[in-house]
Structure formats: structure tokens, C-alpha cells
A and B are shown apart, each in its own frame.
Chain A
Amino acid sequence: MANTKTGAKNSKIKNHSPTLFQRNDGIPFDSSLFENININKSAVERRAGTLTKRRSVKKEWQAAWLLKAITCIDLTTLAGDDTKSNVHRLCAKAKSPVRADLLEAMEMKEANIQVGAVCVYHNLITEAKAALTGSAIPIAAVSTGFPAGQIDLADKLRQIEKSVAAGAKEIDIVISRGLVIQSKWKELYDEVAACRKACGEAHLKTILATGEIPTYTKVAKASWVSMMAGSDFIKTSTGKESVNATIPVSLVMIRAIRAYHELTGFKVGFKPAGGIRKAKQALAWLILIKEELGNDWLTPHLFRFGASSLLGDIERQLEHFVTGNYSAAYRHPMA
């Protein structure tokens, strides 16, 4: 039997936040905090490669973890052909993501399992809002010229303001990758800080689009700048780059989140997105978060998956857990 942990007696991981979910206020730009960062890619890959081999969740533990994963999903549709009807279906699924009989079998009916948010383009916010009436599920809108971000700052800020006005509680912005490539960190800081201001009460989720950032060292630096500028979340990808969220790049970002927390006491959330389709992948990310950031981060307030088909696979795994038989997709209501 493995040991049970009783908490880090001498741990340096502090919890400065006076309230549980205090937002990241950001800090003034200070390049000395990140300019000496050096990420060793091969070592990061080695850790990423062995991390999920060191931990395994099975049986009840797997079921419980997968339910947690559902609550951390930003159930997403970001397609050119999105209309009222598919957004309504998506929202219905967001509210009741798991078949009631399965929840009952797991004695989880009272747990109010819902996804973390519904994520859509600006034009669909109104439809989503109507469909989610009566639920507490927030609407997240992608913004600032998503996915490439190749529009000017004034337009980006206008987009944010309009989405917030339309009812989005979370704004997923894309950063200007060109600023990262050219190491224009102060400009990047100013851009993200302006977005944060435009968000007002809405939470700012900053997409780095790591598939378009050339090195892990720059991913770490971009993470730092985004956090310093007040991002509530940092997010790997739009789902539209050729390389989406990977465990190694997530590790780099998560370590930046940890260091930023150690320095400032602010807890910044993390959102991997793109290509996360399987329950097994979801477990890997939860393990990554638990090992590197600790249990505090295993909550929708600080961790989200950007995913559209992940939920379906999790449902099948849950049915397998309950019945002992492998499941089929058609046995679960579609989104």
C-alpha cells in the first residue's frame, strides 16, 4: 500500500490568496523575472514522458477523476457552420453531460456535474446565453481576431468589449505571436494588460498558440509576460495550429504558473486545448496538474480542457466502469 500524504510540512508552495478564487491582479512588467529562463527541452520531454508512467488511476478512482475532468471541460464549438441548433444542443449537453442512470449508479446524482464552460465564437454568445438560462455555466468567447490574432489592438479590444457586453463571462484571447518571435516582451505585456482591462469582470484566458512559438524557453517567457499582465488563465492553443496541446509544452507553462505563484501568491489557471479527445489523455493532464501544481489546481476555477469530443469518450468509460461492459457512442446523448 502506498503512503498517504499529509501535506507538505516544509513546502514552499504558499497560499497567499485571501479568498479562494482571487483573480490574478498582475504585476508591473519586470523582464528580470524571466530573462534568465532556460528550458532544457530534452529534460522536459523526459519528465513528460515518464510522468504518466509513474501514476495510474483505476476503477473508482478513475471514475471519480473522469467526473472531475468533465467539470473542467470548456465544451467547445468553433466552426464556420455553427448555428443556433448545434449551439443549443451543445449547451444542453453542457448542463447534463452524463446519463442520469450512470450518475445514480455512482451515487453522484447530487454532485451537480456540469462542464466548466461553453466556448463559442462571439456571434453565438446570444444563442448560448439563451440555451444556458437557469444554469451557472459561464460562456467563454474566443476573441481578438481568433485564431491568428492578425488584427490591430483597437479592434481586439472592441471585440472583447462587445463579447463581454453580449454576456461572455470568460474571454479567450490570442496573443500576437510576432511579438514573441521578435522578443518584444514589453509590447506583449501592454497588449495583454489592455485586454485584461477590456475584460472588466470577465475572466481573461490567454492563448499562447504554442504550436507557433519556436522554443520552450519562449513559451515560458510568454507565459510569464501573460501572467504579469493579469491573465486569469494561460492556454496552450487555439486548436487551429498544426501542433496543439502537448504534455511537454504544458509542463513548461505549468512550471511558470508555479513559479509565478511562489513569487506573487496569485494562482493562475491553465487550459490545454486542441487534440484532447480521449479519457486517457484527460487523466494524463490531471496527473500532470496534481503532480506539478498540487490538488489546489484540480478545480474548474484553475484548470480547463478546451475540447469538443473528449466528453463522449469519458461517457463511454464511465458506462464501462458502471456496467463492466465496453460502451458505444450511440448509447449517450450527442451534443
Chain B
Amino acid sequence: MKIKEIYETMAYGPATESAAVAIDFLDTHNRTFQLFIDGEWKEPASRNYFETINPSTKENLAKIAVANAQDVDEAVVAANKALPKWKAIGGYQRAKYLYALARQIQKHARLFAVLESLDNGKPIRETRDIDIPLVARHFYHHAGWAQLKDTQLKDYEEIGVVGQIIPWNFPLLMLSWKIAPALAMGNTIVLKPAEFTSLTALLFAEICQQVGLPKGVVNIITGDGTTGAALVNHPTVYKIAFTGSTEVGKIIRKATAGSGKKLSLELGGKSPFIVFEDADLDSVVEGVVDAIWFNQGQVCCAGSRLLVQESIADKLYEKIKVRMEQLRVGNALDKNIDIGAIIAPVQLKVIEDLVQQGIAEGSTLWQPSWACPKEGYFYPPSLFTNVAPSATIAQVEIFGPVLVAMSFRTPKEAVKLANNTRYGLACSLWTENINLALDIAPQIKAGTLWINCTNVFDAAAGFGGYRESGFGREGGKEGLFEYVKPRIEAEFSDKPFIKPAKKSKATKNELPPQGIDRTTKMYIGGKQSRPDGGYSTIIKSINGAYIGEVSKGNRKDIRNAVEAAHASNSWTSRTGHSRAQVLYYIAENLDIRKEEFANRLVQMTNQPKATALAEVDIALERIFLYAALADKYDGQVHHTTHKNVTLAMPEAIGVLGIICPEESPLLGFISTVIPAITMGNRVVVIPSETAPFSATDFYQILATSDVPAGTINIVTGAKEELTTVLAKHNDVDGLWYFGSKTGSKAVESLAADNMKRTWVNNGKYRNWKEKAHSEGEDFLRKASQIKNIWIPYGV
């Protein structure tokens, strides 16, 4: 083009990043990639390959092997074989490998960036300036954790072979989020990249060879959904980490239910982007660009729901439109674009269909005046206004460059709209008022809160969801716990340490003992309540002697208990000190009635009085322990690489169902319920079915210890039946189950529908009298989830 012409128009020209080195890499492999198993390239048993394309041009890039069940098995066997040595070399040696991986990624940073842009269609600016630097950072950060594990996580050990399945939107970054912590904690890995984007994972395999990573420690198997399923179902994979759609996440949750496999899921989102009227609107506009037009909007935590205070809504929409007009869509390797290509025609179709549905349902679509290039899979940035919360586009994850906007009137309404979703991955919140920001942040149901920023990540901060956005964290110390298990679990047994009371078979009424007849009720919303069904169950001692009746709770009692628990949100917002006061008070009142509780234990379990008294003493000490921890088990300020304060706050899970163990009627109740409420949860408790009286006696203590109504709700009755109701209840956020193996499986499976956080014992017993088994911070960790709040600063 003539310089004079450019001088007059001041237009941008093409500024294309060369793909030469990346193409060389593909050619070196003859454009055909095998499976990386046990440190070698191996042809797939299936003999099948699929094509991977460049979505910017629709050109084929290479053929990728499809691993079948036999290949998966081979990879898992290799990982199992590599495990003992990898474990034995210790933290420092593992740290050196992780450090070498970080270095090697940096040395080949541009090759990784170009290859990623070719394969995925995301702008080279993003792979070069965001993805790849974050990948290197993740390995550096976890090189440190590899070394620190031996001292800072000494009560934990590696899980073993982990299976990891990653998505196509951030291929190498998600690989690093999976591999770095798993290796650091001493696990070996079988990783499956997404079908659309295998190339950078295969280049990473070469890097593993270059640094001399022991064979079998990292295995990379490419393929499709069937490959992933074979990995998920493999018997000697002990943990699955998955990032992808909520739909597939639920399938994996059900598939692994009852298997004992540890699971972390990072799933979809419909994250709110909240703008208050005092925000710096020009900066907000750039925030919107980073929120929804980053990576073509194909971001699980994309700020896809714009919530704007009514007073500034129209003004902001206009500013966004002006900015959208300036955005450029094009080939991923062009350095002058903001938005690259959509991953594949199938995704483009999803976006197009949802946009059409948005129009059909009455929302107003705005797109820039320019047209997208034709040669690739492109979609223009899009803004919907006049969107009602009921609109499909306001509810479902579009996973494309489409923003839906609606207004709110008050901060309270902003919170309501923000939380009006099944998801809970992230939230971006814009205001110049720190009081407002820090008031709203804890109220949002999301794992990451960005104040006056968006889509910022760092290896030192955990990332992960609430609700149907999944569970588990990646990054930060909180993320390490996904790849370790408490060493003490090795001591857990297939048989109870203490014999549970026998299930009563008696139906005929026997003579009650001397004294005034007692009616044991349930405890719901701070009130003793009779069962909805009007039935009672006779409870006998371990020797078969009649003790009394308990209420036979049914699904409606569970419903009432869950509603009462939700109504009691004051407990959650209390300070740790305030909760500690209540816990101490509970202990004080239990101490007064020690004799009575011991007698009850003697009556139900037929143990000697002295051991029963000792058990009540343990209960008292345990309550004291959690009272002590209530204001000390707190968060962290993470050292992230941005100029900001990153607060990692443990928050209550919400309403937690607790199914107590059959054995240890008092300690089983105390050891589960007390840590749960210590973290601010409200609980619905199903006590031991065969020995429920320690729990039902306890409500008199609760009623006299300043425990707010609804904080602890006790429903007695048939354990498995009530468990099923709780597990299927959509307004229960978490479920702890201490019972049989089949019961554990049912709980994990049923909980998948609303992605409850579950904690089950898989039929394994712990000794509830033993401190190391049954108390401590691990219980508090299970009772909470970490929210990371990013607060940038500067004047």
C-alpha cells in the first residue's frame, strides 16, 4: 500500500506474527501426533486419528491420535509404576523438576504462544502476554510448594495417580493449573487435553522429555469423550480433576460416585459484572472488554451478565457501544485484533442460536457496524439490552462474545440479581466506595470477586466455584488440598472402632421405665416439633431393652428444617468471636449435664459409666477446641503478582446436611455438627438412627446456649430415606455422610444435580474418640470454601 494513502487514512495494517517455528514443530512430527505414554511417543491401539484445525483459517494443522481404553490403561499403568520413585525423591528434587519446566516454558514462550493461537484461535496478544506467562508462573509457584510440602503439609500425602481432563479455552494454562500442583504434591499424572486443542500439551510433553522428567510421571493422552470416560472410570486412578462444562461435570460426579476417587470440578459460569453509579465508567468499559471479549468470551468466568445501576445504565451502554465499534476481529496471529476466532463451527452455531433466541424472546441486540472476516469462524462482539432475568440468554452460559445487560436500583437488588443463577464462579464489582465494595463482596455467591478489575489470575490465589460452577480450588495453598489426603486416613477401618447400637426390630410397646413419660421431639427452627407424619419409632438399647420413642421424620420435616436453616442467616454473618462465645456456652451447659449425657450413653450402648463419662469429656474438649479455632481459622492475604490485596477468605458453605455415624451417638454428633457451625454453616442433622437420644437430648442444651433458632436442626428417623431427601434437595449446599459404602455412593450421585459439596466416608470408619481421626482443621476446611477477593489500589 502507498505510504501517502496510509498517511491520509491513518489506518492499521496487518501485523502478523510469524508462524514459521510453530509450523516447523508440526512438520517435525510429520503433522501426526502420537500418545505420550511412559515417556515415549506411542501409536494408539485404536489406530485412529482426528484432524485438528486452525479456527482462524479452517485449515487442517495436524492429525492427533485417539486413545482408547487400552491406551488409557497403559498410561495409567505407567503412572502407577512411576509413582513410588516420584514419591520417594522428595520435595526438593520435585521442586527442581518443576523449576526446570517453568524455565523451559519461558525459553520456548513464543513457540507455545504461536502454537496456541494457531490451534485455538485466540489472539496472539493474549497467548503471548497472558496465557504463557501465567503458565510459567504456575510452575514456578508450585516448584516452591513441592519443596514446602514436606514441612507445611506434613500431615498430608499424595493421592497417587490422578486423571486430569482439561478444556479447549485455555489449553496450556489449564494444563499448568492441573499438572503443577499435582506434581508438586507428589502425584503422577494422566492428562487428557481437549479434542480441539491438543497441540500445546504435546509440545509440553516434549518439554517433559527435555528436562528429563522420569518416565511415566506425566502421560498425555489425546482423544475424545470416550477417552475421557475411560480415564474417569479407570480403577487405579484415584483422583479426577476436570475443567469443562457443568453438564459433563455432573456426568463425572455420577460416574465417580462411591468409587472413593477424589474429585475437583471447575465448571461453567454466568458471572455478574456489577457497576455502581460512582464507578470510573471509562475504566468500567475497559473492564467489560476484558470481561466478555477476552478469549472471544469463551471463558468460564467471563463477566457475561452486566448489572448496572439504573442511574447510569444508558450512559454506560452508549460508552460500551462506542468502544465495541473500535474492537477488531480477525486472525489470531494478527497483532492488531482484540477478538480472534471461535473454537469450532459447533460452538459458533451454539452462539448464533442463542443470540437468535435472545432476539426472539424480546431482548435488544446491538452489534458494531463492521463485518467479521469470512475465512474463519468469527463472531462479532454483541450486546443485549432489555434483558429480563427470565430470558434464556440471561440464564444459560453462552460461551461467546455476547454480553447481556440489565439494570438494578439498589445494592440489595444488585446482590439479588447477581446471585439469581445456578452458577457461582466469579464476579466483577465496580465502585470507588470501599465500604460498598466490601459490603457486597461477601454477599456474592462466587469463588472469585474482582473489585474494579476482572479476569485477573495468579498462581498464588485459588480459583474455583460455588454452586453448579463446581468445587475445589486451583492455585494458592487452598488448591494444594485437591492433590493430597490426610495421612491419618490410612488408619480408617472397614469395621467400626466402637460397636453401633443394634437397629430396633420391636414394634410392640413394652413397659416404659418408672417416671414421667417423655416425648422426644425433633428440633427445627429453634422449636421442638412433632413429626409431620405423626409416627414414632421405638428405640432399644444395644441389649434390646426398650429406651423410648423418637419421632419418625419424613420429607416434609426435612423441607421445614432446610427452610428454618435458610432463615437463620444471622449465624453466618456473626464474627468468629461471637460464634466462639456460643460454642463455649454450649460446653458450659453440657458440662452441667455431664452425668445425664453419660447415663444416656450407658443406656443406649451399654458401656461402663466411666467410659461414658470419658466420652462426654472428649465431647467437651472438642467443643472447646472449635470455640478456640472459631476466631483463628482464618484466611490469608495472598502474594499475587498484581498490585493489589488478594484476600482469601474461608466462607461457610451455607446450609449443610449432616448424616451422623451410627456408632458413637454423642461424639458422632458433636464431632460433625460443631465444626460445621464453627465456620458459620447452618445444619440439618440426621442423628444416629439406632441411638438418636444423645442428639435429641442435646436440643435442650442448644435452646439454653444462645444458639440462634435454625442454626442446628435435628430430624430423626430412617437414615437412608431422609438422606435421599437431603441429597436431592436443591437448596442444600453441602452434605456430609458417615455411613455405608452404598449410602456414600448414593449421596455423591444424587448430590450431582445441584453440585452439592459432599463429604462421605465410603463405608470407612474412624475412631470418634481419637483426636487425630476426628477433629481439627481438616474438618473446618471441609466446612468452608475459599473466596478470593482481589482489591487493586492506587491513587
Contact = CB atoms under 8 A, between A and B. Distances in A.
A1 B331 contact: yes
15 contacts: A3-B373, A4-B370, A10-B325, A39-B283, A42-B644, A54-B336, A56-B336, A60-B3, A61-B1, A64-B5, A64-B10, A65-B10, A68-B7, A107-B3, A111-B7
Contact of B6 (A1, A65, A214): A65
Interface in A207-256: 214-217, 255
B3 A57 contact: no
B303 interface: no
Contact of A214 (B7, B318, B375, B795): B795
A55 B336 contact: yes
A2 B329 contact: yes
A311 interface: no
A183 interface: no
B3 A63 contact: yes
A54 B338 contact: yes
Contacts of A33: none
A2 B337 contact: yes
Contacts of B9: 295
A3 B329 contact: yes
A10 B369 contact: yes
Given A5-B328, A64-B5, 6 more contacts: A2-B328, A2-B373, A3-B328, A40-B283, A42-B643, A43-B280
Interface string B2-35: 1111110111111100000000000000000000
A47 interface: yes
A108 B3 contact: yes
Interface string B64-85: 0000000000000000000000
Interface in B304-359: 318-319, 321-322, 325-326, 328-331, 334-338
Given A3-B373, A56-B15, A50 B129 contact: yes
Interface in A20-51: 36, 38-47, 50
Contact of B125 (A4, A54, A214): A54
A331 interface: no
B513 interface: no
Contacts of B541: none
B711 interface: no
A1 B452 contact: no
Given A2-B329, A8-B369, A53-B125, A59 B335 contact: no
B3 A40 contact: no
A217 B792 CA distance: 16
Interface of A: 1-13, 36, 38-47, 50, 53-61, 63-65, 67-68, 106-108, 111, 214-217, 255, 286, 290-291, 295, 298
Contacts of B125: 50, 53-54
Contact of A61 (B12, B372, B792): B12
Contact of B279 (A38, A45, A53, A290): A38
Contacts of A47: 283, 286
B432 interface: yes
Contacts of A63: 3
Contacts of B220: none
A39 B432 CA distance: 8
A313 B662 CA distance: 82
Which 8 A/B pairs are nearest by Cβ-Cβ distance? A43-B283, A64-B6, A42-B792, A61-B13, A2-B330, A41-B794, A9-B369, A56-B15
Contacts of B371: 3
Nearest to A44: B283
B13 A59 contact: yes
Interface string B508-529: 0000000000000000000000
Given A2-B12, A6-B370, A50-B129, A13 B794 contact: no
B11 A46 contact: no
A108 B8 CA distance: 11
Contacts of A4: 11, 370
A255 B325 contact: no
A41 B644 CA distance: 12
A70 to B, nearest CB: 11
Given A39-B280, A59-B13, A12 B373 contact: no
Interface of B: 1-7, 9-15, 125, 129, 278-280, 282-284, 286-287, 290, 318-319, 321-322, 325-326, 328-331, 334-338, 366, 368-373, 375, 432, 452-453, 643-644, 792-795
A64 B325 contact: no
A55 B371 CA distance: 19
A54 B372 CA distance: 18
Interface of chain B, main secondary structure: loop
B258 to A, nearest CB: 47
Most chain-B CB neighbours within 10 Å: which of A10, A63, A295? A10
Contact of A38 (B13, B329, B432): B432
A277 B6 CA distance: 23
Given A8-B322, A63-B3, A291-B326, A57 B370 contact: no
Contacts of A43: 280, 283-284, 286-287, 452-453, 792
A217 B280 CA distance: 10
A6 B11 CA distance: 11
A107 B2 contact: yes
Given A10-B369, A43-B280, A107-B4, A1 B321 contact: no
A34 B763 CA distance: 67
A112 to B, nearest CB: 11
Contact of B15 (A8, A58, A216, A290): A58
A216 B322 CA distance: 23
A72 B430 CA distance: 37
B1 A36 contact: no
Contacts of B370: 3-6
Nearest to A291: B326
Given A42-B643, A43-B452, A61 B6 contact: yes
Contacts of B279: 38, 40
B10 A295 contact: yes
B90 to A, nearest CB: 40
A47 B2 CA distance: 32
Nearest to A58: B15
Nearest to A43: B283
A291 B336 CA distance: 12
A61 B11 contact: yes
Contact of A40 (B12, B15, B334, B432): B432
B513 to A, nearest CB: 71
Nearest to A218: B795
Contacts of B282: 255
Contacts of B286: 43, 46-47
Nearest to B643: A42
Most chain-B CB neighbours within 10 Å: which of A8, A44, A64, A298? A64
A67 to B, nearest CB: 6
A61 B792 CA distance: 37
A43 B369 CA distance: 28
A60 B1 contact: yes
B187 to A, nearest CB: 36
Nearest to A289: B10
B706 to A, nearest CB: 43
Most chain-A CB neighbours within 10 Å: which of B6, B10, B326? B10
Contact of A45 (B284, B330, B794): B794
Nearest to B123: A54
Given A42-B453, A42-B643, A215-B795, A298 B10 contact: yes
Contacts of B328: 2-3, 5
Nearest to A251: B282
B109 to A, nearest CB: 15
B311 to A, nearest CB: 11
A239 B643 CA distance: 28
Nearest to B456: A46
Given A5-B370, A8-B369, A111 B322 contact: no
Nearest to A295: B10
A53 B129 CA distance: 8
Nearest to B378: A3
Nearest to A217: B795
B129 A60 contact: no
